[in-house]
Amino acid sequence: MALRPWNQLPIRDCAEPLVSLPASLHRLEPHPYQALGAPYGPGASPFQLRHGVLERLLAAQTALQQRHPHWCLAIFDGWRPLAVQAFMVEHTTATLCREQGVDAAVPSEALAEIQAAVGRFWAPPNADPAAPPPHSTGAAVDLTLAECSGDGPPCPLGMGSEIDAIGSVSEPDHFADLAEACTDPEQANRYRRWHDCRLALRAAMESQGFAQHPNEWWHFSWGDQLWAWTQGAPEARYGRVDGPAPP
C-alpha cells in the first residue's frame, strides 16, 4: 500500500480522548458519508476530534471572526474510522468509473488513472498503526466558511469547488493563477473572491498552528503525521483511534 512522505515520522500518542464538537461550531448536516451508509458503527459520529485539536479549532474560529465578524467555520468532517475510509475510497473510485465509463473490475490504464487521481485526495485505508489515515487519528478536520449574519442558519460561502472534488480545482491556490490569466473581468473577480475565501480559511487555521493538506483547500490537521512533517516536528502526537466517544 502506497505511503505518504509524512508516514515515515514516528507517532507518540498523547492519549487525548475524542470529544464531540460543541454547538458553537456549525455542522454541515446531513453528513454525506453517513447518508451513503458509511460504516461508522454504533454511537460513532464524524463530528468528533481530539480534545487539543478542538480547542485550537475554537480558537481558529475566534481568529476568523476578528477579521470577518459575520463569518464562521462550517465543519464537514472530523474523525473517520478506518472502515469509513475504505468505504469512501471504494465509493469515490466506483463513482468516477461510472462517470467515465470505465469497468472497475478490469485492470486497465484508465482504471489506474482514476485510482491515482483518487489517491491524491483520499489516503489509503492503511491498517498499519504506524501509517494511519489522517482523519482516523481525530487530528484532521475538513471544513469551509459560512456567512452567519442573518436570522437563518449559516450559509456556506463559495470556495470555487465542493469539498472532496477530485482534480486541480481543489488545490488551495488553484484560483490565484486563473485570476491573473483571465481576460474576463467578471470571471477574474469571481476567481479572486474564491481565492480570498480560501486564504481567509487558511489564515484562521494557520494562526492556531494547523497544517493544510497540499492538495485540499478544506483539510487541516494538528498533531498528526502530516502536521509534524510540514512543521518539522520530530514526531506526531496523535495516532489512529478506533473507539468513539458518545456523540
Say whether pLDDT at 232 is over 80: yes
**Cβ neighbours, 10 Å, residue 121:** 17
Strand-strand pairing, 155-156 and 140-147: antiparallel
Ordered DSSP codes for 206-225: HTTT-EE-TT-TTEEESSSH
Which domains are assigned to the chain? 5-231 (3.30.1380.10)
- The active-site residue out of 29, 109, 216, 235 is 216
Pairing of strands 140-147, 71-77: antiparallel
DSSP state letter for 236: B
- 31 in helix, strand or coil? coil
Residue 216 is among the residues annotated as catalytic for this protein: yes
Please state the rounded mean pLDDT for residues 14-21.
95
Distance CA 93, CA 126 (A): 17
In terms of C-beta density within 10 A (0-12 exposed, 13-18 middle, 19 or more buried), how is residue 230 classed?
A: middle
What's the pLDDT tens digit per position in 209-231? 999 999 999 999 999 999 999 99
- Kindly give, in sequence order, each residue whose CB lies less than 8 Å from that of residue 35, ignoring residues fewer than 6 positions away: none
Alpha carbon 95 to chain centroid, angstroms: 19
Task: Say whether pLDDT at 93 is over 90.
Answer: yes
Model confidence at 115, pLDDT cuts 50, 70, 90, reads: very high
3-class secondary-structure state, position 71 = strand
User: What's the predicted TM-score (pTM) here?
Assistant: 0.95
- Is the pLDDT at 178 greater than 80? The verdict is yes
| Long-range Cβ contact pairs of 107-113 (< 8 A, separation 24 or more) | none
Task: Kindly state the average pLDDT of the residues 150-169.
Answer: 93
